[in-house]
Structure 1
Amino acid sequence: MNIGMGFFRLGALLLMTISSICVTGQNTSDSLRTRLKLQSNDSNKVLTMIELAKFYRGASPDTSLKYSHAAFELAEQLNFRKGVALGNKWIGLHYFDRSEYLQAEEYWTNALQTYREINDQDGISNILNNIGSIYYYLGNYARALEYFLPSLDAAEKIGDKLRIATTTQNIGLIYMSRPVTYDQALIYLKKALKIAEELNDLDNIGSCNTNIGEIYMNMNEDSLAMIHFLTAKKASETNNSTNLPYVLNDIGKLFKRKGDSTEALNWFNQAYNKASEQDSKLFKVESALEMGEIYRLQGNRRGAMQYLNESVSLATEIKAASHLKQVYLSLANLYRDAKDYDNAFRYQQKYSLLADTLFNLSADSIQSRFEVGLKEKEIDLLKKDKEFQKLELNRQRFAKNALIVGMILVSLIIFILYRDYRNKTRINNILDSQKAEIESLLSNILPEEVAKELRRDGVATPRFYESVAVLFTDFKNFTTLADHMSSQEVVAELNACFIAFDDIVEKYRLEKIKTIGDAYMCASGIPTPYDEYLLNMMKAALEIRQVMKQRNSERIKDGFMPWELRIGIHVGPLVAGVVGKKKYAYDIWGSTVNIASRMESNGEPGEINISETLYMLIKDHYHCHYRGKIYAKNVGEIDMYFLGEAIRKLETVLAGKEEIKESTGFFPENSI
């Protein structure tokens, strides 16, 4: 399967949603600057700055962003709603070109809201298509169609051929995602190409040719693919397209497949340099990955390591999970070729654990938009301060006029001012109290680091963690136990157990995630990773088991049925963050969580069931007993062990005395 499938398609999607300007060279730039200086109408100044943002988009992204912000700010001052929407749209385009999709989607959502306020069908179609492009880029095709289809409907209502070509191509790209629907994809893409050629739209001509060429390349029709790629390259160079690196990468792949490594490296290097110039991190990942793989096959270990390590860094930064998996596989092969089997196994394990669901999770994370109550209170407070300032001015005018009437009215005014001052003080005290309550609530329900990010930025970005220990507990036959007890007794006993668990979790620096019925879930190593996270998790699990043994001993002594607890633990990569927009919850996702749950459900009461992955990391610190295998979806068979007591060693102490000391230490950096 082609590693880069889908890169250019998204770049093309966005280019087709904007109006191109037929300007080239320094003379055109000077002409646009002159227009800006000569505009007498302020709204026209906004539109002129938007034209400048278009002009500089490919050549100087930072300059383009500067004009976009200037246009937005002026439009806000003028209450020029279409200008506000255009400013948000072009700021979003800047972040999209830099693969910063969260910021891009935020600005485009604001633009869409403004376009709907003024009932601008062309703008609505444009932005719906852009947002759909983000979801397509992240592999969430169903979500992308939810935006593409209404975009096409809006374009057809106003008869906009350019927009129709854009959305027609996008629908073709959905079909292009699966080889069995290549024929339907070609129908839609060629239809879009025909419209683009009628309009002489170089952006769409380049994108359609690239996508058609990619289909032919995947069908092993290299000659047809090269014809379309070269046509796309010419159009992209003429229009200084931001997607030129992708076209160059595709041409490099054709030469790589033919076995011409020298020519392939030349094209990949051109793509890498162009992507660096445009600060397109996703295209840089693609180029660096391809060059690293070629150097690996040539036996150039240093060159391969340089580019593959850069790919890991960039792919991790932009959360390009599918590319990160491919880089892990290449690094595993590189270390295997060098007979460094420890590192080869480590990266092979990373490749295996990074499931495809992580990529969909990245897409889902785009939809998460959190409005922090604290921020709303701060805005309300500012508004009230402005109202009080205005009221104070009115009172001063009234007081000045009242002096003419006499001291009686002055006294009355002083009384009113004093009363209102008391009201203002009381209101401010209430607002301060509410603000403190909100901050306290956030600190109680979220990790401190996440709560600070929410208060500071208004959002908490989900993070990928390379290694986290996850623990599940569950009571055996809980339903049967509950049937023999009153509801008050069940809740009281469950509450007492969970309070004890909470104390242990806090003691060993773990993070409680949630309780679900009689199940308890916590993790170690988040939100701030630290060296002793695994040893702390083992100590906590053993202490939880000991607490339950003591409680059950007391229950049996009093003639009650014991509450038998199963404990399961696994370690691996996962994603953690805040979900929801009204009731905040810190949660974790990924195959690591699922496997930890399987460890618990396949365990035994009074035992701590751990996975082989965890066993390999702690076997020098704890006695463990092998107990068999289970099958886990998307992972395969997993060996399980029961956790025993800590391994202790005999050491000589002063005066020939001996004492038993628990073995301690830290895991080396490359253990996980």
Structure 2
Amino acid sequence: MKNFEDPFNHLDSISRKACLQQLLQWADESKDVNLKFFFRWSRLKLLFWKERQNPDIPNELESLIYESGICKDYFIQAEARQLLGYCYWERKEFSLSIEQFAQAYGLYSEFNQDDFPNKGEYIFDYGSKHQYFGDYQTAKSFFLEMWNHTPQNKIENIISKVNTIAYCYRTLNQFDSALYYFHLAEEFAIKLNSEVWMGIISGNIANIYYLQKKYDLAIPLAERNIEISTRNNELVDLAMAKSMLSDIRRIQNNPKAAMQLSLEAYHIIVKKGFLKNYYVMKNIYRNLSNAYAANGDLKTAYLYLDSASMAKDSFAVQRNQLAISGAKYRVEVQKHISEIKQKEYELLQQKKIRNGWIAGAILMILISVIAIRQKIKVSQEKKRSDELLLNILPEETAEELKLKGFAEAKSYDEVTAMFTDFKNFTIASEQLTAHNLVKEINYFYSAFDKIVSKYNIEKIKTIGDSYMCAGGLPVANKTNAFDVIQAAMEIQDFMQKHKLEREAQNLPYFQLRIGIHTGPVVAGIVGIIKFAYDIWGDTVNVAAAMEHQGVEGKINISGSTYEIIKHKYHCTYRGKIPAKNKGEIDMYFVDGVKEEG
């Protein structure tokens, strides 16, 4: 928040207190209603900027907003609503805050810039609130409204504002417009002799060329960013620039330079304690993984690839949580606005009834249309919020979390767990680049997701080249063993088709081991920063052992699972393996479905 207007800023604290007391005295003594109102407003505005945490300020602002409506002083009402919005925002009461910002915008958007000097700043600030919740399209529209209707000599922090407009375009993948505004921001940085901004903007432009694969254009800008950031100790910007340049060197087949730059970027972030900046870390880890792979160290590359995936997931969860919060707040705002519309409707209806039933009926129709639209918007926002949560958690767990604010772990007597693992993954992957390796894994896991979803099997997680899922939860059932076996057969059929296609093209291929076991588990949510639905118990360990003792192209199951499915599937006995705390466990290969009759 910016102190847009503080006429008493030059006064010391004692003088400011004296001004407050004098304004309060004038307000009490004045017999002129309008003058008294003005003194009260001046005092309250001064109090807000100097004692913003004062718990009485919101109530006083609410009272003044009401009085300004009676006096029809919409200039003061717009200012007061904006200040009240800031109060609520600082207290993280976002729905109430955005409601006030929206009401203020509805007022000051009708004023001329000369009559209402804060108009441009308020519009830009309103856009930044939408940007906070990841709504870049709406944010951009407000930013452009400010830019197109405010004289440049009246825009404060103009470099930052133009850079923000460019960043919105870049996030929306509208690169031509992003470049236009980044170059415009650069012109202002040169004019105002701001070297730090010159470096930041050089890096932003380089990033766009990097995304467009225009590496010859990106390199000198990235190097300039590194030089300026080093000189000005802008460490996050320095690390991001080095990491981006590292990936360009890798693409240009210069693995040693790529490794050096990636390690430099990584050490900057680690040394300065930026490891919880997940947006930065997902890029640093990804490019470091690529650099290790380009230098032939695939084992280390996989470690950083997992780290990049974890950072990316953490960043995505943060964004999802923020988006869920934003959707919730927007739903609440729409509810508030609907209530306001309803009150306006009732007042208008009473007035129109006195003037005639026809006019009243017309108003009823219009207000009904507005109410329906608002209801549809609320429903849509709730649906978006629910979809985001369901992408993280099972439906039943998500519902419990929404109702209680937490989800308890549950015990299940019969769950069938399945593990998959690629045979000789490291050897086969040496023939692929890191990028193509990730592309391959995503191809397989996407296919597995579709197959297990068809049989109501819950995907638990992926760990490197291992895929874990379970049937019989979160809703218990008696068909889980059959469901998982059927899904496993489809997965192996998919892998066999993949093998034949790759052999025909003389390309490397992957083969898969699958292990399955049925037994009791405990399931629930773990984590605070990163939601994760997981399962625990000996059943998980035995299923993992079944996979480890399996053979590529085969489905290896335990004796427990065999006893459940033996009447439906042909199986081949393999012998026993020792298991911790369980003695020896029988193993079987699933050969196929028995013919009926």
Which TM bucket (shorter chain)? Answer: 0.3 to 0.5
Query: Higher relative CO (CA 8 A, sep ≥ 6), structure 1 or 2?
Result: 1
The normalised TM-score by structure 2 is 0.41
